[in-house]
Amino acid sequence: MAKIRFLGHAAFYIEGKGLKGLIDPFLKDNPQSVAYSEDFKELNYIFVTHGHADHLGDAIPIAKSTGATIISCFEIANYCSTFGVSVHPMHIGGRTRFDFGRVKMTPAVHGSGISTDSGIVYGGNPGGFVIEVDGKKLYHAGDTGLIMDMKLLAEEDIDVALLPIGGNFVMDVEDAIKATDFIRPKVVVPMHYNTWPIIEADPNEFAEGVKSLSVKCKIMQPGDELVF
């Protein structure tokens, strides 16, 4: 039995046998956040989909305080390691086995630059993750537009898919419905919307759209948990 808790925007806590992790832990500056870095004392992994501040977020300070290993693309892992934290570099299309289960990095069409005081640092290619834990599969799409590669995910038998729906930087509701059709997860959860006016979207419109696909839609409020 695996469990996720929505922390607002695209941030999730994930727990299962051998895994206590965070995905895109944007907490401190997240207007939707219901959690603080200090809430997480026992963590072993932090997944970072790409270098933008609303995803890399508080990953480095949390990795420092908990000793958790940051899993990300090679470039972001390299960047994080300069702060003295533990990292595991991966890259798009690569799958590897961790003590809790396998993880695959999936493609995303987006950017990944890391904003620093001295300008933007190259953050490699943006991605998403298929995380296997307790015999279940979770897909976190990261920030992405609609891509044909998502059709390949149908073969993965995804239990829960977390998809951005806010438009402007990522898929809008219309494209996220098409993505759900490509991926065919058991449950789909909309994310990355209504954090700021520029990514305003109606999750009920998304839920209505996926109804005809026989995919269950779960709209999560920050703080909500989903067991799967």
Is residue 143 a contact point for Mn ion (CB under 5 A)? yes
Q: How far is the CB of 195 from Ni ion (least distance, A)?
A: 12
Task: Return the range that interacts with Ni ion (CB under 5 A); candidates 31-39, 50-58, 73-81, 154-162.
Answer: 50-58
Is residue 24 a contact point for Mn ion (CB under 5 A)? no
Among 15, 24, 75, 143, binds Ni ion (CB under 5 A): 143
Among 15, 24, 54, 175, binds Mn ion (CB under 5 A): 54
| Binding-site partner at residue 58 among Ni ion, Mn ion, none, CB < 5 to 8 Å by type | none
Q: How far is the CB of 26 from Mn ion (least distance, A)?
A: 8
Q: How far is the CB of 54 from Ni ion (least distance, A)?
A: 6
Residue 110 CB partners (closer than 8 Å, separation 6+): 50, 126, 142, 143, 144, 145, 169, 170
Among 9, 52, 136, 192, binds Ni ion (CB under 5 A): 52
Q: How far is the CB of 58 from Ni ion (least distance, A)?
A: 16
Q: Do 171 and 198 touch, CB atoms closer than 8 A?
A: no
Number of residues that bind Ni ion (CB under 5 A): 2
Task: Return the range that interacts with Ni ion (CB under 5 A); candidates 4-12, 45-53, 84-92, 144-152.
Answer: 45-53
Nearer to Ni ion, 5 or 52 (CB): 52
Nearer to Ni ion, 52 or 140 (CB): 52
CA distance 14 to 133: 9
Please report, as ranges, the residues that interact with Ni ion according to CB under 5 A: 52, 143
Please report, as ranges, the residues that interact with Mn ion according to CB under 5 A: 54, 143
